[in-house]
């Protein structure tokens, strides 16, 4: 086993202190900024631990989209909401005490567990994964795991994203979002978006394609597409369709539905559910990945648009109602 180098120790200390910053900083706005940095440093440590797929996903999704959502959530915190932000959830003393006891318990067992787990490293599934890799239709083992060996999990996971969008629909007020005038939105930003969005879509396509043989895949590409969508929304909100419209809805379920259809097809031809015969595996995986990328990208854009509702970003720069956080 490789011994840890000073740079490893430094990275771990950095991660821990950033986490402390996120949780401890008195100013929630700064907490969120540190959280984004924390996500990026986490991505660095994924790379260090030979998990570049995760690094991409974390940077794009964990730090990127979720970070932006956090920022928007804070930005929406106006005068009257300050009280709400510090409002206690119903946590009685019993819970807190039991929580503390729990931590003590976990620390005790954790010390035991981590150390003995380290003494007897598990066998893992490295060998079987690589042995059958040539049958999976892709050469990136992580893609093989999530879209072939354990495709059922990923199918349900796409279901989770679909579910979040459904929840947002179910809680949105019925009237359609109104956009007063496009003049409010920054022209610079718009021309920037015009230039950069094609690049982002191109990069998403590349990530999707590359997922078969190197780090990348549907989730990373979807997050990139989501970023492009958010940028479009920022620069020209009127352009964005109402996500509840037919076309948007169709695209939202595309990933989930394509899994269903291919799974049923596989069963009709006498295979197991979600089994890809090895000569068709590449095409099947590419199909569900493309559909999922579209769905993920649109879901993320939709989430952003619904969290941001009413306050469309650059406009607030000039509105004067917002306080500096």
Partner 1 sequence: MTAHLVITVVLVPILASIFTLFCGDMMRRVVCQIAGLTVLGSTCLIAYQTGHSRDVLNIVLSGWEAPLGIRLYLDGLSALLLLTTAIIAVCITFFAEAYFGVKARSGRLTFFWPLWFLVWAALNGLFLSGDVFNLYVTLEIINLAAVAMVALPRTHESLKAALNYLVIAFLGSLSYLFGVAILYTSHGTLDIQLLAELAGIDGPYILAAVLIFIGLMIKTALFPLHFWLPPAHASAPTPVSALLSGLVVTASAYMIIRLGFTVFAPLMHTPLTLLLGVLGGLAVLWGSVHALIQERVKMVVAYSTVAQLGYVFLALPVVVSGSDLAAMVWYGVLYFVICHACAKTAAFLAAGTLINVVKHDRIAQLSGAAQHWPMVFMAFGMAGVNLIGLPPSGGFIGKWLMLQAMINSGQWLLVLILIAGSLLAAGYIFRVLGIALQTSEDSRPPVPAPLQLTLTTMILAVLPLLLGVFSQLPFSLLAVGSPFGALP
Partner 2 sequence: MIQIIINLVSGGLLIVGLFFFIAGILALWRFPDTLCRLHAITKADNLGLGFIIFAVALQVGWSVLLLKLIVVYLLILYASALNGYLIAQYAHHQDKSNEVK
Partner 3 sequence: MTVALLYSITGFLLFLMGICGLIFRSSLIRRALALNITASGIFLFIVAQAYKGESALPDPVPHGLVLTGIVIGASATALMIYLIGVLRYVSPGDNDSGEEE
Residues in region 63-92 near partner 3 by CB under 8 A? 65-66, 69-70, 72-74, 76-78, 81, 84-89, 91
Structure tokens at 195: 């230039």
C-alpha to C-alpha distance for 84 and 103, rounded to whole angstroms: 28
What is the SS3 assignment for 175? Answer: coil
What is the SS3 assignment for 70? Answer: helix
What is the SS3 assignment for 111? Answer: helix
Among 20, 49, 130, 152, which residue interacts with partner 1 (rule: CB under 8 A)? 152
C-alpha to C-alpha distance for 8 and 14, rounded to whole angstroms: 10
Q: Which stretch binds partner 1 (CB under 8 A): 35-43, 128-136, 223-231, 295-303?
A: 128-136
C-alpha to C-alpha distance for 8 and 16, rounded to whole angstroms: 12
C-alpha to C-alpha distance for 143 and 20, rounded to whole angstroms: 34
Residues in region 264-323 near partner 2 by CB under 8 A? 314, 317-318, 320
Of the candidates 234, 249, 212, 211, the one whose C-alpha atom is nearest the C-alpha of residue 305 is 234
Among 45, 184, 275, 287, which residue interacts with partner 3 (rule: CB under 8 A)? 45
Structure tokens at 135: 């049958």
Q: Which is nearer to partner 2, 205 or 314 (CB)?
A: 314
Binding letters toward partner 3, positions 109-138, x by CB under 8 A: -x---x--xx--xx-xxx--xx--------
Structure tokens at 172: 């949105």
Give how far Cα 181 sits from Cα of 18, 113, 134, 173, 199, Å.
41, 60, 55, 21, 27
Among 79, 160, 320, 323, which residue interacts with partner 1 (rule: CB under 8 A)? 160
Min dist. Cβ of residue 60 to partner 1 (A):
21
Query: Phi/psi of residue 234, each to 5°?
Result: -65, -40
Residues in region 172-201 near partner 1 by CB under 8 A? 172-174
Q: In whole angstroms, what separates CA 167 from the centre of its chain?
A: 17
Q: Which is nearer to partner 3, 11 or 196 (CB)?
A: 11
159 binds partner 1 (CB under 8 A): yes
195 binds partner 2 (CB under 8 A): yes
Among 8, 157, 186, 322, which residue interacts with partner 1 (rule: CB under 8 A)? 157
Min dist. Cβ of residue 261 to partner 2 (A):
37
C-alpha to C-alpha distance for 69 and 22, rounded to whole angstroms: 16
Q: Which residues bind partner 2 (CB under 8 A)?
A: 186, 188-189, 192, 195-196, 199, 314, 317-318, 320, 324
Interface with partner 1 (CB under 8 A)? 89-92, 94-95, 98, 102, 105-106, 109-110, 112-113, 115-117, 120-125, 128-129, 132, 148-153, 156-157, 159-160, 162-164, 166-167, 169-174, 246, 249-250, 253, 256-257, 260, 263-264, 267, 271-276
């Amino acid at each position: 086993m490789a011994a840890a180098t000073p740079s490893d120790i430094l990275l771990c200390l950095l991660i821990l202190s950033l986490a402390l910053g996120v949780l401890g900083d008195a100013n929630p706005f700064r907490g969120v900024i540190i959280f984004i940095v924390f996500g990026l440093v986490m991505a660095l440590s994924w790379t260090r631990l030979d998990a570049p797929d995760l690094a991409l996903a974390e940077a794009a999704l964990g730090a990127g989209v979720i970070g932006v959502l956090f920022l928007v959530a804070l930005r929406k915190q106006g005068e009257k909401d300050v009280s709400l932000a510090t409002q206690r959830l119903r946590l009685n003393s019993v819970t807190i005490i039991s929580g503390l006891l729990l931590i003590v318990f976990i620390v005790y067992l954790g010390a035991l567990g981590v150390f003995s787990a380290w003494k007897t490293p598990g066998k893992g599934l490295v060998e079987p994964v690589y042995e059958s890799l040539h049958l999976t239709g892709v050469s990136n083992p992580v893609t093989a795991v999530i879209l072939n060996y354990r495709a059922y999990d990923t199918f349900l996971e796409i279901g989770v994203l679909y579910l979040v969008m459904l929840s947002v629909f179910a809680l949105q007020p019925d009237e359609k979002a109104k956009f007063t005038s496009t003049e409010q939105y920054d022209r610079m930003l718009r021309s920037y978006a015009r230039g950069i969005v094609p690049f982002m879509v191109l990069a998403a396509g590349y990530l999707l394609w590359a997922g078969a043989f190197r780090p990348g895949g549907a989730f990373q590409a979807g997050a990139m597409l989501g970023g492009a969508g958010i940028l479009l929304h920022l620069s020209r909100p009127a352009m964005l369709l109402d996500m509840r419209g037919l076309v948007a809805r169709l695209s939202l379920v595309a990933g989930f539905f394509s899994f269903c259809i291919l799974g049923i097809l596989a069963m009709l031809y006498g295979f197991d559910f979600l089994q890809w015969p090895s000569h068709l595996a590449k095409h099947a995986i590419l199909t569900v990945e493309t559909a999922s990328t579209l769905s993920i990208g649109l879901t993320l854009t939709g989430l952003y648009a619904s969290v941001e509702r009413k306050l469309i970003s650059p406009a607030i720069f000039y509105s004067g109602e917002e306080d500096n956080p």
